[in-house]
Amino acid sequence: MGKFTLLSERTNGEPSSSASLQDELELLEDCPKEIQSSKAHDTTTAPLIMRDAYIAGLKNNGATQYGVLGKTLTVRGPRAEDSFEDDRLYVNTNAPFSAIVCGVQGSGKSHTVSVLLENMFISGVGAIGTLQKPLSGLILHYGEGGSSGRPCEVAWLAVSRFKAVHPPPVKVYVSSSSLNTMRKIYAPLGSHIQVEPLCFTETELDAAAFLSMMAVGSSESAPLYIQILLSILRDLGENFTYSAFQTELDSRKRTFNPAQVAGLEQRMSLLKAFMFDKKKKHPKQTSRFAPGQITIIDLSDPFTDSASACGLFEIIVRLFTRAEVGTGKVLVVDEAHKYLTPGATSGLTQSLLRLVLTHDQSLAEPTAIPPVLLDLCMISIMHRFSSPAWWDHLVKHVSADFSGREAFDKVVTLGTGEALIIAPSALGCFKERGWSDESTVSRLGRRYMIMKTRARVTADGGASLLVI
């Protein structure tokens, strides 16, 4: 039989510790101060807050910043439905959260993402909330390359027809091979947008970045020359520099056969395409990330495939995480289905997973993202779609009570700009059935909300194209 070890010893049936029973019980009791502190924490960290809950708990908190996301049409639970006289819905831009926004073309998903970003970057406009400290933003975008391409829709946040609105500066980094084409694509958006080539310095490329750019995965089934690359990286360890690596590689490359040399050059080509060329003159490099600035990495390029874009995005996310910007950060994974793989093993997915686990703010769209990310998202915003497969995929990863088909029927018939929201940590004032007719501040829990997104104060560049 197995042996069991007791973690505490007793003498005469009494604890051996000298602490009295009362001393021990004091640590188990909820004192009023701790209860108040716990409620304050729930209130200040709630990702979404309904107006009545804001009045009850946040109005007198001077450190709070929030944005108007839209209005609450209804809140539905297993046995009841709530409506509200003051239906304003706020997004808490002072606390970290993660969210997914999904829906078909024309349902309003891009509009909702832009409204969320307006709340994080535009201050001094009372109609959309209060923003004391704008965030620093990173947008990952990969679309159709070439002259027929369109700008990333988030870039339209730099344009507004209202004089009282001061749009945030937007920097767009693109592939050097498509620089002139991309500048023409973004030119109609005005002078608030700068388009620059995406080039890395040697100091930005550590060993992990190097592996990402060369698409080096597991060493178990890797070709011999890849195993040699990994061996060089291990030998250099913390002393890795691109120059030292290149010197060692040139020394060992002499033993490669022609096929290995060709494979190596193919892997190195992406690395060289996105590095500063010391032989060419480059404008003085400024920081990619700054408070109140939106940085877009647009890799819409005929010569950059989705796998390469994924590796480059992974490096950028790592640099963004390390950057000292003196404010909060928001990451938007735009059109995620075009480059994220369904599994949880890709480098970019792992980077996003680490961000979500450390509660950095991140947004993703649409539904074709790894389930491991869906499981950890604090907010799910579902605009109109009619695919049962999408619905079945999503409901496996959310906490709301969808025992019937009523919720899916509602999603199918949502109007443009309307969305079904699942956010267990969101706060509102609800009546507890069977206990009291009075409303108390509580979490949304397994309820779900139907919301109508507010109008934008910046230009809308994502409107569907019509024939007439």
Which residues, 6+ apart, have CB-to-CB distance to 147 below 8 Å? 181, 184, 185
CA dist list (Å): 350 to 206, 313, 319? 17, 12, 15
DSSP state of 139: E
* Residue 66 or residue 207, greater confidence: 66
Q: What is the pLDDT of residue 368?
A: 58
d(CA 285, CA 275): 13
- Buried-exposed string 324-342: b where 16+ CB fall within 10 A, e elsewhere: ebeebbbbbbbbbeebbee
Q: How confident is the model at residue 262 (pLDDT cuts 50, 70, 90)?
A: confident
pLDDT at site 144: 83
CA-CA distance, 350 to 221, in Å (whole number)?
21
Q: Which helix (H) or strand (E) holds 194?
A: strand 193-197
Answer left, alpha or beta for residue 359, where phi above 0 means left and psi between -120 and 50 means alpha: left
What is the DSSP annotation of 82-105?
A: E--SS-EEEEETTS--EEEEE--T
pLDDT above 60 (res 356): no
Enumerate the domain spans of the chain.
35-97+378-462, 115-125+133-199+282-364, 203-273
Q: Which two tokens stand for residue 381?
A: 């915003």
Nearest CA to 295 out of 213, 194, 212, 199 is that of 194
Angle, in degrees to the nearest 10, between helices 224-236 and 258-273: 50
Secondary structure E strands in 273-378 = 294-298, 329-333, 361-364
The answer to whether 84 and 72 are in contact (CB under 8 A) is yes
The model's pLDDT over 178-187, given as tens digits with 9 standing for 90+, comes to 999 999 999 9
What phi and psi, each to the nearest 5 degrees, are found at residue 157? Answer: -65, -15
Q: pLDDT tier at 430 (50, 70, 90 boundaries)?
A: confident
- Report d(CA 222, CA 209) in Å as an integer: 18
pLDDT tens profile 189-221: 988 899 999 999 888 888 888 777 776 665 556
How many angstroms separate the CA atoms of 430 and 426, rounded?
12
Which pLDDT score is estimated for 340?
Answer: 65
Q: Is residue 1's pLDDT more than 60?
A: no
Structure tokens at 15: 């604890």
Is 363 in contact with 356 (CB distance < 8 Å)? no
First to last CA, the chain: 81
Q: Using only C-alpha atoms, what is the Rg of the chain? A: 26
DSSP β-bridge partners for residue 456: none
| Nearest alpha carbon to residue 313 among 362, 277, 357 | 362
* Calpha distance 298→138 (Å, rounded): 11
pLDDT digits (tens, 9 = 90+) for 125-176: 999 999 999 999 999 998 888 888 899 999 999 999 899 999 999 999 999 9
Query: What is residue 421's three-state secondary structure?
Result: strand
